[in-house]
Structure formats: C-alpha cells, structure tokens
Structure 1
C-alpha cells in the first residue's frame, strides 16, 4: 500500500459515517419543523434553519459530538423580546426551549446563555442558536448573560470562505481540517475546531502542493504541523475567515505540533515498499488508530 492509498483509507476513517449523518439530518429536521410550526405556522422541516459551526463549514470529522444549528426567527419576534424591560434575551431562549421540548420532551433541553442545548442519549448534542437577519448579511442573536444583550455573527460568510478556498485547493482544505481534528483528539491538543479551520485556511493559500492529490497528503500533514509549530506562542487570537470573528487560543498547541512534525518528516522519508509498515506506524503515532495499520 502506497502513500496515496494510505491517506485515502485514512480519509474513509475520519469522514463522518452515513448512519450518523442520517441521524443528524433527522433530528435537525424535527427541531426545524417544530420551530417553524410554533414561530411561523409553517410545516416545513428544512426552511429557516442552517447548519453552522464545523458541521456547517463541512470540516467535522468522525467522533463529532456537538452539532451547531441556527434558526432564523421572524423580525417581529425580535421586537417582541427587545421590548422587555429586563433580559428579553433570556425569555426568548426559554420560548425556543419550550418549542423544542414539544418534539424532544425527554431530552435535556435548556438555555445556555446564547443557545438552547439538546442532549441526546447517544452522546450527540445539538446547540440551537436563534437568530435574526440583518440587511448586511449578518445575524443578530440573544446573549442572556450579564443581564442580556444582542450580539452579531456571520456564519454564512465563514461557510462561503471555506467552501471557496476548498475548491481552489482541489478540496484539500477540508481534508486537512478533518485530519487535524483526528490529530487533536488523539493527542488531546488544546486547540478548537474553529482555530484549526482558520489556520488551515491561511496555510493552504500558499502551500505549493495545494492542487495535488492524496499522494501529497503526507506532505500536507507534515507541513501544516510545521505551520502550527511556528505560530507565535504569545498570540492569543486569530480572525475567522469570512466573518473576521475572534478565534481564541485555548492553550499551547505549538509544542505537540513541533514533536509530531518531526515524526511526520521521518515518515515522509520512508517511501520504499518494504518501509510501508514502518511509515504507517509513525503516522499512527501522530493520528492514532484511525490511520491504517
């Protein structure tokens, strides 16, 4: 088995399986249908909702447990809760929670500052963000913390930015984002999916092999680990592609990236057929059991 075949098998291992995708879609449609019924008198199970976060950006990997979705409320609902004398944002989240509980009565559904969280027994958690459309393409959403306020975000711009650069890089950007989530999870590296996506987006713009095939995915992993290791340890935030939102550092991810970059360099030198097992062993030390043996 050569390098390309190894990384194709790795891709098949880190992509989310069809059964979970189907389960996510079913729950998404049930939540959307209930919210549409209660807030719009509509029976649609798909309109006015959008996957956001890593699943919306299509950079999630197998093992995903948190699913972010946004639900677009009518403008009249904003004016209704904005008129509250105290913390209309909390009241709005409670209203959204009560609506969802009409469908998932046994789920642990509650307001968590900015979202309504629905925990399912299989370990998957939906975080539902109620939003309102703004003329400039952003969304306004409620923040119930500290007495209540309205905040803005722009996930649609993030989705579009990642999608555009992914196509410009022969779809390698999203492969990179997914495989680096496997690296993070295997090694318990303190880095968020949003920061992985942000740094991968920056890295691949000028990576010399960005248009190549799976044959170059060993180089891609090696070079991105080097890119992570070279990030300024004093830097505390980066800016998300598309929206420009702040993406904060969770901890020192550079140290582990530096160690594994060295292992990746060694793996990339083992190209002879009889060195395959040794090469895969090194990649498994970087990525864990998801990488083929």
Structure 2
C-alpha cells in the first residue's frame, strides 16, 4: 500500500498553482490595507500568516470554507481611536477594513465582517482570505478585536501555536503535516464528525509525541492514530472513530492476504475518492509513468450534472512554422500533425449555457518528455474565455473546458492535441 498512500498524499496537497493563487490573493489584500495605512512601500512586513495555510495542512479539493488566515498589523496610532468608542469600536474597525477592501475588490462577490475578522470571498475552488486586523505587542502576541457582546479586545498568540506545530513536524520529519492532511480528509469524508480541525491537530501532536515510530508505514500509522483517538474523544464522536478503526483493521488484514483491491476499498471508505483504487499495474512498477500528482478531476470539485440542452464547443487556432496566419486546429489536423514549440489559442466557439456561469480549464500532458510537467490542474478562466498554450512536448495531450453554473458542472468539452515527434 505504500505507493497507494504516496499517490493519496500527493493528491490532497495543494498544487503549485493553488499556492501561487493564494499568495496573489493574500498579498493583494495585505497590500491594499498597507497602502491605506502606511506611506512606505509594501514589502510583506505588515502581514502575518497563521492557521492551516501557514502550516501547509490545507487539503484539496477546495470547499467553500477554505481560506487563508491573515493578520494585518495595524499602525499603533489607530488603536486609541477605536478604543475610545463609547460602544463597540471593534465593530467600527471591521467596518473600516471592509470599506477599504471594497474600494479595491469591486467585483468580489462577498466582503463581510463578523466576530473578529473580515472575509474576502473569491471565486469557487480558490482560497478566500480572512483578515484579522491586529496590533502587535512587544512580547510577540497580538491585540485583536471581538465584536460580540458589545465589543472587547483580546490577546491572541498565533506564534505559540505555529511553534508547537513546527516543532512536532521537525521532530517527526514531516509526519505531523502528512498525518494532519490525511486525517482532515477523513474528517471531510465523515460529515457527522464533530471534532474541529484545530482539535484534531492537537490530538495528532500529542499522539506523535508518544508514538513517533519511524518503522510504521502509513497504513499502520493511521490505525495506530485511530487507536489513540478512540481513547480520547468524547462519546458523541466515538462511534465515528470506531468505524474508521474497524475499517483500517480490515484494510490491513486484506493487504496482508494480498487482497489489495479490497484493502483500497476500505481505505476509500475512510478517506473518500481521493484514495486511489488498486490497479494491477502498481504491482509491477512504483508509479504509472504518466501519473500526475497534481491532476484534478472536475467531479471532485463540483457536482456534475451534464445537461443535454446545453451545447459547448471549443475552438482552437494554431500558429506554427509554414502557416502565416492562425489556422483552425481541426482543419490543420486533416492534413498535418502539430510540431513542437507552436502557439495554440483555445476559445469557446459555442456555449448555450445562460449567464451567469464560470469557466474552468484543464491541460493534461503525457509522455517521457513531459514527465516533469504532466500537469492536470483545473484552473479558473481569467474572464477572456480563452486558454493559451504552447506545444512543448511530443506525444498525445488534451485540453478540457468546463462550464459551472450554480455550483454544478453542466457542460464540458475535450480537445485532443497530437504533437509530432518530427520537427
């Protein structure tokens, strides 16, 4: 099962594109606030990241609750203004932060404040940003607002939490992060479980402080954690942990008898569809040479209900040596085959889905030349309803387009791209 768990762990980690997208968003939000409150150029020092994103324990596929926790360090001169309010200066602070951001993020669906934070909600299947305005104290803690019960100030120490997690992760050579991501997948696949993510993190840290056995494989590690957890959770959650423990025992038993398909089925009951099914080929090679750790599937991101009444057709024009103008792809493929290093422009030629809707794209490469760039991530269209690519690698490749309406994939289209081995 080692290869199965390797595939599983890679498939739930954020892709490079998702991490880059998150950075663009949290830097954009922080820079907007920085430019309002400070005169010096933004260099990132007025922000502080914490929470799951900072710990690298966020998982995919994304949910509507996925966010980056961001502290914005307020100028010290601003504290007195809000502290002097006769009633709930904390609420006035969140309102001010919200208004500043609304001036920049005019097309963002939702910017709202509640409790202690301002939420900046972005497109589906991308990170949202939760902004916590705060004043940094000399001892490294932060003074933060709480708008509830008439408003108050609280001391917050995210550095302590990050240090505890980081220490555990270093001592276990990354096992803390890996186990946290896997257990979060179990939590997501167990909708009735009432244990918060930060509570699970604390359980994992305590467990590994006592059970950091480097000889355990992932199957044994998961079972051992469930054995620990069942002795520590309250009665309301015990049955869910017991079910997971029973299934992990069955999975390991099936594995010991060489019944790998059945073993995978039990792990899938625990973790969901992200845990891969067993394939006979895995017995003979460590990983399929065309397997992409970053590949995503639209069925994992959205409910898919393709509507036969909606028509979607993708066009593509090609610019390559020997063709002075853009040439339609299908016309070109009737006589020729594409060669490397040429420009492809995919576009929506026909789409009968009524607005509003969102467009997503997927590019998948195959072959030895593309082994370090197999891709497969699903990305949100930039608003142009086009996708620009270059024929860098020889072999068979494809591009898919998806139309998402009201959170449902209602139309999809695929274009296959053969690239010649001849220059």
Counterpart of 1:207?
A: 211
What's the offset of the Cα at 1:208?
A: 4.3
Counterpart of 1:15?
A: 13
Counterpart of 2:196?
A: 192
- Counterparts of 2:202 and 2:86 in 1: how far apart (Å)? 39
What's the offset of the Cα at 1:45?
A: 5.2
- Counterparts of 2:180 and 2:111 in 1: how far apart (Å)? 30
Counterpart of 1:140?
A: 143
What's the offset of the Cα at 1:232?
A: 4.5
Aligned residues between the structures: 271
What's the offset of the Cα at 1:278?
A: 1.5
Larger radius of gyration: 2
Q: Paired residue for 1:126, among 126, 129, 134?
A: 129
- Within 5 A, what are the aligned runs for 1:41-80? 41-44=39-42, 46-64=44-62, 65-80=66-81
What's the offset of the Cα at 1:272?
A: 4.6
Describe the superposition over 1:109-141 as per-residue Cα deviations: whole angstroms up to 9, x where unpaired: 121121011111225432110111112221110
CA RMSD across the alignment: 1.7
In structure 2, runs of 5+ residues without a counterpart are 278-423
Contact kept in structure 2, 1:29 and 1:45, CA below 8 Å? no
What's the offset of the Cα at 1:285?
A: 1.1
- Counterparts of 1:74 and 1:266 in 2: how far apart (Å)? 57
Greater fraction of residues in helix = 1
Is the counterpart of residue 277 in structure 1 residue 261 in structure 2?
A: yes
Single out whichever of 194-203 and 46-55 deviates more from structure 2. Answer: 46-55
Contact kept in structure 2, 1:57 and 1:158, CA below 8 Å? no
Which structure has more relative contact order (CA 8 Å, sep 6+)? It is 1
In structure 1, runs of 5+ residues without a counterpart are 235-251
Counterpart of 2:92?
A: 91
Single out whichever of 90-99 and 173-182 deviates more from structure 2. Answer: 90-99
TM-score (normalizing by structure 2) = 0.61
Q: Paired residue for 1:263, among 227, 247, 269?
A: 247
What's the offset of the Cα at 1:193?
A: 1.2
Describe the superposition over 1:161-203 as per-residue Cα deviations: whole angstroms up to 9, x where unpaired: 1011101012101101100110011111222111111111111
Which runs of 4 or more aligned residues in structure 1 lie more than 4 Å from their structure 2 counterparts after TM superposition?
Answer: none
TM-score (normalizing by structure 1) = 0.87
**What SS does structure 1 have at the residue aligned with 2:255?**
coil
